[in-house]
Amino acid sequence: MARLAAILRALALAYRRDWTALQSLAGNNFFLATVFFMGKAGGFLYLILGLVVLFPMSTDPMRKIPASRLALWPLERRERRLLRLVSPWVNPITWVIAGLAIWTVGRTITAGLWAFIAGVFLAGFLLSDLPFPSAPSMWRPIPAFPGRLNQLIRKNVREILSTLDFYCALILSLSAIGFRIAGVDMPGEAFMAMALLVVLALASYAQCLFGLDGEGGLSRYRLLPLRGWQLLAAKDAAFLLVAIALTLPLAPLPGAGAACVALAAGHAPAVEKPRTQTRWRFTMGVLIWNGVLQIVFMAMAASTIWTHPWALAPCVAAWLGSLWWYGREMERRMQV
Amino acid sequence: MISCRNLTRRFGDFTAVQALTLEVPAGAICAFLGPNGAGKSTTVKMLTGLLAPTSGEAEVCGLNVAAHPFEIKKVIGVLPEDLGLFDDLTVEEHLLLTGDIYGVDHRQTRARTDQLLHALSLDHGRHTFAASCSHGMRKKTAFAMALLPNPRVLFLDEPFEAIDPVTAKIIRELLVSVARHGVTVFLTSHILSMVERIASQIVMIRKGSMVWNSSVADLPQSLEDHYFDLVESPVVEELEWLGSPRS
């Protein structure tokens, strides 16, 4: 039993550390915007956020133990069975689901909701045991881009696709496209607002452009004979490609403008206060000042471009100016 | 080809490298030896422009490292301590990236990539993402990246560690071959038997200070014995509890 308790303690510790999925929300622009600006619509957006977070949090705790290590441990068959039975309770989500089950007894409407949440949890739990490809290999077929930065841009697109920010933006974009296809009568401004929301969901990543490169990647940047602005441009190109692709069916110009502004405001923390990020989590940016300013400037840019498309030009100019300035800053910081 | 004078690096009160002065001629294979924490990697970082020295200066290919860090990057190949790989690129994509960045013609890049992957037995893993590669594959990928642009100087931080004996032999032969063509090789390693076979110059460092610098021919005894005498002699401690009945 002492062996079992030791393993469960280690699993609980690992799970506690894994709660960055929820902590990351606190530094995410999208979370901030939903709290302060969305009012009633916040409920729907929270549901999207909740589902995007719930899925990765539902993984089987036993996956945290390397299979080879588990096989080597001197555990008896009885202990292994017990571990299998008890380990799901290390995951706090299991307790939440169980609590909800008790709460929903006798409530027919909430029972349906409970079944839905439990279904998402179960899917996450069971799917985590299947041999899925790792994050990068899921996105192998990224197309090639022209120029010498081709491979760097492909890598950066793969990085964006391994954050929850992208999936949140994708769900928002698909929802708006669904409305458009269904022919629901919506004012044009609504699509502009949705385009802004989509870019907002991605915007925290613009503050942490180098967060998923790891130590090895960062040292490679320093070895490559590339200027700082070129390294930043490869990051920005990937961000703009994703943002423009998601906002194209909604309001392309305000979307592009907001993306340029998000990058212009995001370069400073990305270069000066780099933050390591975790895959399959929301990006955790620098909320105070950087995040707030980013949101305000993006909202101003998107709404102005909606009525005056020429306003895209100053947004692009701001982005290019920031690229040049922080490219120099990056070069300065690369030699320490 | 590589020269440094009084190269020093301090981290706060700790001196990682103390007044290092040495010359490595073109076409030499210089082995830079020392125990963990002696200052080998710090020296490599200073010579490749990754770390600014606290004092002293270094030149690579006639270029001052501090004044021309960008130009130096174009003429050197580096196998860094942490390998410098991106999780989101495959083995092959890393080599294609190197060719693109160093301005190697696309067809040449393809040809060199195929040759290097074949030579280093990486053919089977060319489409494997770095995140999923074994340590040996990662090291071979980083080594291939260092060679692909045909550099004038190669800096290799522990190239023989954590790779299979066949690959180690292939790397050894490749290094001897490139040195014969005038490429200067500066490597760090703990595998003294391997170093003794290929190095033309031996430099030993202990606690940041150089304690030996000569050609291999000038070593007074075997490299291993000389290393143990000068740098660090092994102390074998008896662990009485090993093999005894469990308490």
- Give me the domains of chain B, ranges plus CATH numbers: 2-230 (3.40.50.300)
Q: What is the pLDDT of residue A226?
A: 92
pLDDT single digits (tens) B78-90: 999 889 999 889 9
- Put simply, the answer to whether B101 touches A225 (Cβ < 8 Å) is yes
**Spatial separation of the C-alpha atoms in residues B153 and B236, rounded to whole Å:** 39
Domain membership flag for residue A137? no
Helix, strand, coil tally for chain B in percent (to 5): 40, 25, 35
Residues on chain B touching A222 (C-beta within 8 angstroms): 50
- What 3-state DSSP class applies to A180? helix
- Put simply, the answer to whether B97 touches A214 (Cβ < 8 Å) is no
Based on the domain organization, do A116 and A210 belong to the same domain? no
Inform me whether the C-beta atom of residue A332 falls under 8 Å from chain B C-beta atoms.
Answer: no
Question: Confidence class of residue B205 from pLDDT cuts 50, 70 and 90?
Answer: very high
Based on the domain organization, do A185 and A57 belong to the same domain? no
Residues on chain A touching B86 (C-beta within 8 angstroms): 155, 213-214, 216-217, 220
| Domain total in chain A | 2
Domain membership flag for residue A70? yes
In this complex, the residue of B82, B96, B129 whose CB is nearest that of residue A136 is B129
Q: Which of B88, B101, B147 is most worth mutating to test chain A (most A CB atoms within 10 A of its CB)?
A: B88
- Put simply, the answer to whether A155 touches B89 (Cβ < 8 Å) is yes
Instruction: Tell me the percentage of chain A whose pLDDT exceeds 70.
Output: 74
* Single-letter residue type at A247: T
Inform me whether the C-beta atom of residue A161 falls under 8 Å from chain B C-beta atoms.
Answer: no
Domain membership flag for residue A278? yes
Q: How far is CA A95 from CA A98, A112, A201, B116, in A?
A: 5, 18, 29, 53
Question: Confidence class of residue A56 from pLDDT cuts 50, 70 and 90?
Answer: low
Q: How far is CA B28 from CA B24, B154, B204, in A?
A: 7, 11, 16
Please give the backbone phi and psi of residue B185, each rounded to the nearest 5 degrees, phi first. -120, 130
Residues on chain A touching B132 (C-beta within 8 angstroms): 134, 136-137
Domain membership flag for residue A199? yes
Q: What is the pLDDT of residue B245?
A: 80
Lowest mean pLDDT among A55-64, A210-219, B145-154, B199-208: A55-64
Residues on chain A touching B73 (C-beta within 8 angstroms): 223-225
Domain membership flag for residue A141? no
- For residue B75, what are its two tokens? 């003429």
Structural domain of residue A105, as residue ranges? 2-132
In this complex, the residue of B51, B88, B129 whose CB is nearest that of residue A159 is B88
Based on the domain organization, do A77 and A155 belong to the same domain? no
Question: Confidence class of residue A108 from pLDDT cuts 50, 70 and 90?
Answer: low
pLDDT single digits (tens) A241-255: 999 999 998 999 999
* Listed residues A85, A107, A132: the one ending a domain: A132
Q: What is the pLDDT of residue A138?
A: 63
Based on the domain organization, do A245 and A289 belong to the same domain? yes
pLDDT single digits (tens) B131-140: 889 888 999 9
Question: Confidence class of residue A127 from pLDDT cuts 50, 70 and 90?
Answer: low
- Put simply, the answer to whether B100 touches A217 (Cβ < 8 Å) is no
Nearest to B59 by CA among B25, B11, B84, B30: B25
Q: What is the pLDDT of residue B83?
A: 92
Based on the domain organization, do A56 and A177 belong to the same domain? no
In this complex, the residue of A139, A162, A217 whose CB is nearest that of residue B86 is A217
Based on the domain organization, do A120 and A228 belong to the same domain? no
Q: What is the pLDDT of residue A313?
A: 95
Q: Which residues are bridge partners to B188 per DSSP?
A: B32, B157
Q: What is the pLDDT of residue A179?
A: 83
> Which residues, in sequence order, are CB contacts of A81 under 8 Å at separation 6+?
none
Inform me whether the C-beta atom of residue A136 falls under 8 Å from chain B C-beta atoms.
Answer: yes
- Chain B nearest CA to A148, separation (Å): 5
Region B185-195 average pLDDT: 92
- Put simply, the answer to whether A335 touches B78 (Cβ < 8 Å) is no
Domain membership flag for residue A139? no
Please give the backbone phi and psi of residue B189, each rounded to the nearest 5 degrees, phi first. -165, 160
Domain membership flag for residue A298? yes
pLDDT single digits (tens) B1-32: 899 999 999 998 899 999 999 999 999 999 99
Residues on chain B touching A336 (C-beta within 8 angstroms): 51-52
In this complex, the residue of A155, A223, A226 whose CB is nearest that of residue B88 is A155
Q: What is the pTM of this model?
A: 0.80
For residue A21, pLDDT over 60 is answered with no
**Spatial separation of the C-alpha atoms in residues A110 and A119, rounded to whole Å:** 14
- Put simply, the answer to whether B85 touches A222 (Cβ < 8 Å) is no
- For residue B168, what are its two tokens? 């180690």
**Spatial separation of the C-alpha atoms in residues A316 and A326, rounded to whole Å:** 15
Q: What is the pLDDT of residue A24?
A: 58
In this complex, the residue of B73, B85, B90 whose CB is nearest that of residue A224 is B73
Based on the domain organization, do A95 and A201 belong to the same domain? no
- Put simply, the answer to whether A223 touches B69 (Cβ < 8 Å) is no
Which residues of B make CB contacts under 8 Å with A? 48-52, 69-70, 73-74, 78, 80, 82-90, 93-94, 96-97, 100-103, 127, 129-132
- Put simply, the answer to whether A220 touches B86 (Cβ < 8 Å) is yes
Q: How many CB atoms lie within 10 A of CB A127?
A: 13
Q: For the residues of A125-162, what is the DSSP string, one character each? A: HHHTTS-PPPHHHHTTTPPP-SSTTHHHHHHHHHHHTT
Based on the domain organization, do A15 and A121 belong to the same domain? yes
Q: What is the pLDDT of residue A283?
A: 82
Lowest mean pLDDT among A30-39, A200-209, B97-106: A30-39
**Spatial separation of the C-alpha atoms in residues A151 and A239, rounded to whole Å:** 15
Based on the domain organization, do A199 and A125 belong to the same domain? no
Inform me whether the C-beta atom of residue A214 falls under 8 Å from chain B C-beta atoms.
Answer: yes
Domain membership flag for residue A237? yes
* Listed residues A103, A132, A161: the one ending a domain: A132
Nearest to A169 by CA among A253, A52, A70: A52
In this complex, the residue of B52, B80, B83 whose CB is nearest that of residue A336 is B52
For residue B206, pLDDT over 80 is answered with yes
Based on the domain organization, do A100 and A219 belong to the same domain? no
Question: Confidence class of residue A134 from pLDDT cuts 50, 70 and 90?
Answer: low
Question: Confidence class of residue A265 from pLDDT cuts 50, 70 and 90?
Answer: very high
* Listed residues A78, A100, A132: the one ending a domain: A132
Q: What is the pLDDT of residue A239?
A: 97
Based on the domain organization, do A121 and A158 belong to the same domain? no
- What 3-state DSSP class applies to A334? helix
Based on the domain organization, do A222 and A267 belong to the same domain? yes
Q: What is the pLDDT of residue A47?
A: 63
In this complex, the residue of B52, B84, B87 whose CB is nearest that of residue A219 is B84
Chain A residue whose CA is closest to B11: A336
